[in-house]
Chains A and B, each alone.
Chain A
Amino acid sequence: MNWKRAAIASLAAVPVIALFAWGFTKDPNNIPSPLPGRQAPDFSLPVFASGEAPMALPVGDTVHLAKLRGEVVVLNFWASWCLSCRDEHRTLSQFAKRYADKPVHFLGVLYNDRTPPAVDWIREMGGQEYPSVNDRDAHTAINYGLYGVPETYFIDGNGRVAFKQTGPVNDEVLTRVVDSLIAALPAGAKGAGVADSAAAGLTPSPKQAPKGAP
């Protein structure tokens, strides 16, 4: 009779062990986002850090995502209090500089932070090639289903979220995703990158805000 008991106990234990085995293969911090494949949530946010030429945008002006349609957009959510943002900053900034003449926009989005420490952080990190906008109430972050920073969203020429990177982004991911999205653009859009404000989805501010404090 003992073999019967052992068989029943084993049968009862198998689904529990299988469930645990399946659970341990999952990273609890890596929660799949429903956004890839969907239209990127639109936003209009003020520039607080201009970036460097040719990607520089005037501080105080508003960036409208919808107006960047037709080109690739790399949206990087960051904060000065975020340690992992330090890890990716140099990679992201240098990559943006390398791709300055390509049809891709790089945009930093400040998340749950104040602009003075953020401006200081950029200075401390040796500058940032691309501009950054301020998401003061985090509504844009929540619209993108943000869990924390850094998170980077790659938006294709049709305005759809193509890929989301949770955590620091590296050069390999940037190259693979951005190149594939540029390659998917219509032939006419693959020319020179956009450097002027009008083409960069900008609304000039009525009065130029002081640098670093919109």
Chain B
Amino acid sequence: MRPSIRMLLAAAVLATAGVAAPSVTAAQQAPAGTTAMAQTSTLSDSALAAQTAAVSSELRCPVCQGESIQDSPSELSAQMRDIVREQLRAGKTQAQVKAYFVSKYGEWILLDPVAHGFNLVLYAAPYVLLLAGLGVVVVAVRKWSGKQPDSAGP
């Protein structure tokens, strides 16, 4: 659940950056060119920071226990975040950045397992258990409702 919440937060930050875009475009048209450039730089920096946070939230810290590189204060995590930022700045997509880390550390580096092979069990298990639970409830209710007339009878 935690990565999903982080992704939602990151998406919210990205959305906020997107909302801010028109005002910066207007500022670029203003005669004060230097100020406009500074604002453009700030915007791209914030968008880059949001994207870096989004990708980093999905990558596991190699020297921690179940923590993302976004949340970890470790030196290695900070260095990995630097690489995420550098690659995004260089024009790579979020998927390409994640693919880079998978090529180095394997799929283990992804906090959310990829839905293929044995991992499918992880995704299917909650639904299977839910169905099994519903089945148990249905059987139990039928049993109880079938017994009631007997116990209420003369």
Contact = CB atoms under 8 A, between A and B. Distances in A.
B104 A145 contact: yes
Given A112-B75, A137-B79, A143 B104 contact: yes
B63 A142 contact: no
Contacts, number: 40
A31 interface: yes
B104 A139 contact: no
Q: What does DSSP make chain B's interface, helix, strand, loop or mixed?
A: helix
A138 B63 CA distance: 14
Interface string B58-80: 00001100000000000110011
A148 B104 contact: no
A29 B56 CA distance: 22
B141 to A, nearest CB: 17
A138 to B, nearest CB: 4
Interface stretch (A32-40, A47-55, A60-68, A90-98): A32-40
A139 B83 contact: yes
A143 B76 CA distance: 12
Given A112-B75, A147-B63, A148-B62, A142 B106 contact: no
Interface residues of A, number: 18
Given A146-B62, A147-B62, A148-B62, A138 B79 contact: yes
Contact of B106 (A33, A139, A143): A33
Contacts of B103: 34
A41 B2 CA distance: 33
B8 to A, nearest CB: 28
A163 interface: no
17 contacts: A12-B132, A31-B108, A33-B105, A33-B106, A34-B102, A34-B105, A34-B106, A112-B75, A112-B79, A138-B76, A142-B83, A142-B104, A145-B105, A146-B62, A147-B63, A148-B62, A148-B63
Nearest first, the 5 closest Cβ-Cβ pairs linking A and B are: A145-B104, A138-B79, A147-B62, A145-B105, A34-B106
Interface of A: 12, 31-35, 112, 137-139, 141-148
